Amino acid sequence: MKPNDTTQRNQGMPLDLDLIKSIRVNRSAVERRAAAMGARRSVKKDWQAAWLLKAITCMDLTTLAGDDTPGNVIRLCAKARQPVREDILQAMDMNDSNIHVAAVCVYHNLIHTAVEALAGSGIPVAAVSTGFPAGQITMDQKLSEIEKSVAAGAKEIDIVISRANVLRGDWNALYTEVQLFRQSCGDAHMKSILETGELVTLNNVAKASHVCMMAGSDFIKTSTGKAAVNATLPVSLVMVRAIREYYERTGIKIGFKPAGGIQKAKQALEWLILMKEELGDEWLSPDLFRFGASTLLSDIERQLEHFVTGRYSASYRHPMA
């Protein structure tokens, strides 16, 4: 399923600098709320299994390593088509449910391989672009990367913003940059990666989130997965509340994608709870919520096997995504 298939595409809005300048985040309140989320909420037994299956359908199965090969990507795409072993799904009476991941995310040079491997599955290919992960190339190069990835068959583009614009407080430059990226994406859906671990403050995270949405982002995403600090619950809370505010102001639903460091099924449940409590059930779908993940899938499959057998298997029995 493609992002926003059932919702209106974000056309953006004029940059509202007065709103951006007025944003203030209460860090201690955010951290208390995030800490309470994992401590006070628990999902067990049948409910937990159902939520974990939901997490799989919201997953951008990703490989962004220096040693990626066509063979690795073909293997990843096979796992994307059937993310859970057939015997586990049969034991859960879910073998006819067509469970698959939301997308497969790769570097530009492997788009064609992924498109071929996913043919007929309905699973789109996402590509990272604009000088991922650092974004330290020229604007012409960034726009060319996007256009070439779309031409190669990518239906979703994960762009990286220039963090220097945020750190300087140059919101006009950030807005213009993301607008240009959006135009180059054409019909492809665009996820804007903030790289929140490099933005220093939650105020910057909130402001950058709003500017990216005003400029036309379909999703806002926490991280590249390549920084020292990636997705965290406090940062995610700030971003989803920015999404809620944008929806209240415009009526447009923007998607959210935490990425980097989410490796355990328990973490996936925490982010699903965050989305349900802050944005509601409508955001619990691949249209509006994605995990950027690879090893997460193996742990979820292991937990599902425990659900049906009552025993934990060795992690090596589950193919790494």
> Mind listing the pLDDT tens digit of every residue in the chain (321 residues)?
344 445 678 999 999 999 999 999 999 999 999 998 867 667 888 999 999 999 999 999 999 999 999 999 999 999 999 999 999 999 999 988 899 999 999 999 999 999 999 999 999 999 999 999 999 999 999 999 999 999 999 999 999 999 999 999 999 999 999 999 999 999 999 999 999 999 999 999 999 999 999 999 999 999 999 999 999 999 999 999 999 999 999 999 999 999 999 999 999 999 999 999 999 999 999 999 999 988 899 999 999 999 999 988 877 776 654
For residue 5, count other CB atoms closer than 10 A to its CB.
11
- For the question of residue 54 being annotated catalytic, the response is no
pLDDT (tens digit, 9 = 90+) per residue, 104-118?
999 999 999 999 999
**79 counts as catalytic:** no
**Cα-based distances in Å from 15 to 20, 172, 176, 178:** 9, 8, 9, 12
CA distance 320 to 72: 11
DSSP state of 130: S
Contact 253, 247 (CB under 8 A): yes
CA 315, 66, 130: angle at the middle one, nearest 5?
115
The active-site residue, picked from 54, 60, 257, 299, is: 257
Between CA 264 and CA 162 the distance in angstroms is 30
Indicate the residue type of 63. T
Is 170 annotated in the active site?
A: no
291, 292, 298, 302: CA torsion to nearest 10: -20
Residues 219 and 251: beta-carbon distance below 8 Å: no
Question: Which of 54, 155, 221, 253 is the catalytic position?
Answer: 221
Catalytic residue, candidates 2, 155, 158, 207: 158
Domains of the chain in start order, with CATH, are 17-317 (3.20.20.70)
Residues paired with 193 in a beta bridge: 160, 221
Q: Would you say 252 and 10 are in contact if contact means Cβ atoms under 8 Å apart?
A: yes
